[in-house]
Amino acid sequence: MLRPQGMVTLSLGATDRKDAWWLSPLLFAIAFGGFSIYATWAAWQNEFYRFGPYLSPFYSPLLKPEWLPPWLSPAFLILGAPLGFRLTCYYYRKAYYRAFLLDPPGCAVGEGKPSGYRGERAFPFILQNLHRFFLALAILVWGILVKDTVEACIWDGQFGIGLGTLVMMVNVVLLGLYTFSCHSFRHLIGGKHDCWSCLTFGKQRHTLWRGVSWLNGRHMQFAWVSMIWVGLTDVYIRLCAMGLLQDSRLF
């Protein structure tokens, strides 16, 4: 005998689904957890973040104010911007609410905690509404990374490109795609308007919004590849700086 449906509370993980619904939250937890551990470790190192004209994205912009205690790495002064951007990102929210908070663990999968849910209406998750401000910081940081990449083409005053320069170029392209496919960006560049024909240059702005919408449809993919690549960029520069890897100079 089964109880009628309605208000029955299913226990955590209870579902009739037989597919591997737990796989994508698990992969996210492993990948995001792994990245976070690596990024924290790399930020604590406070060395090997420079090689030739290359600067690790974890340490850019490189700020070293006098009041900074020697045990604290300058990475901690700037990591808040990209971290806040990713933590309040609409894609990451979906992924970590599922993978870490199990709220819900999967679609049509039981949670086992019916009462007290306030979602993003109350602290702490009401802070997710600040996403657009982290977007502004992320765009700023992205601009600095572009500058770093331009500087990575200059070896002792001479133009030159090494493998590391290419790694950094790919990094800014991927981070740019992730940053400018943001849902808040899509809203701010035009998504907030309803009557486009009432606007000056409405048609052009609509075309721009359509373009950002196309990017926005791939926000999740950009989030993944840009996160993995920014980690690899740090790994590459770190290994070169430690002398474990020979950077090949292309020209």
Partner 1 sequence: MSTQKVTLRVYRGDAESGELQDYTVEVSEGMVVLDAVHQIQATQAPDLACRWNCKAGKCGSCSAEINGKPRLMCMTRMVDAIKTAEGGPILVKPMKTFPHIKDLVTDVSQNYRNNKKITPFRPAPKGPDGEWKIFQYEIDRAQEFRKCIECYLCQNVCHVLRDHHEFSFAGPRYMVRAAGLEMHPADQGDRIDQLKEELGIGYCNITKCCTEVCPEGIHITDNAIIPLKERVVDEHYDPITALFRKVFGKKAPPNPAP
Residues forming contacts to partner 1 in the complex (CB under 8 A) are 1-10, 15-19, 90, 93-94, 97-98, 103-104, 107-108, 110-111, 113-115, 117-121, 125-126, 129-132, 183-184, 186-188, 191-192, 194-198, 202-203, 206, 216-217
Q: Closer to partner 1 by CB, 57 or 84: give it.
A: 84
Cα end-to-end distance, the chain, whole Å: 76
How far CA 233 is from CA of 54, 142, 145, 164, 226, in Å, comes to 10, 14, 12, 8, 10
Q: Which of 60, 84, 88 is nearest to 73 (CA)?
A: 60
Question: Shortest Cβ distance from residue 170 to partner 1 (Å)?
Answer: 26
Could you check whether the bond before residue 65 is cis, i.e. omega within 30 degrees of 0? no
Kindly report each contact of residues 111-120 with a partner whose C-beta sits within 8 Å and lies 24 or more positions away, as own/partner.
111/10, 111/12, 112/9, 112/10, 112/11, 112/12, 112/13, 112/14, 113/12, 114/9
Question: Shortest Cβ distance from residue 202 to partner 1 (Å)?
Answer: 8
Q: Closer to partner 1 by CB, 109 or 175: give it.
A: 109
Q: Closer to partner 1 by CB, 203 or 249: give it.
A: 203
Q: Closer to partner 1 by CB, 19 or 156: give it.
A: 19
Give the whole-angstrom CA distance, residue 106 versus residue 89: 19
SS3 category, 158? strand
Question: Shortest Cβ distance from residue 127 to partner 1 (Å)?
Answer: 9
Give the whole-angstrom CA distance, residue 79 versus residue 82: 6
Q: Closer to partner 1 by CB, 6 or 243: give it.
A: 6
Question: Shortest Cβ distance from residue 128 to partner 1 (Å)?
Answer: 8
Question: Shortest Cβ distance from residue 18 to partner 1 (Å)?
Answer: 5
Q: Closer to partner 1 by CB, 38 or 196: give it.
A: 196
Question: Shortest Cβ distance from residue 169 to partner 1 (Å)?
Answer: 29
Give the whole-angstrom CA distance, residue 17 versus residue 71: 51
Q: Do residues 160 and 153 lie in contact, with contact meaning Cβ atoms separated by under 8 Å?
A: yes
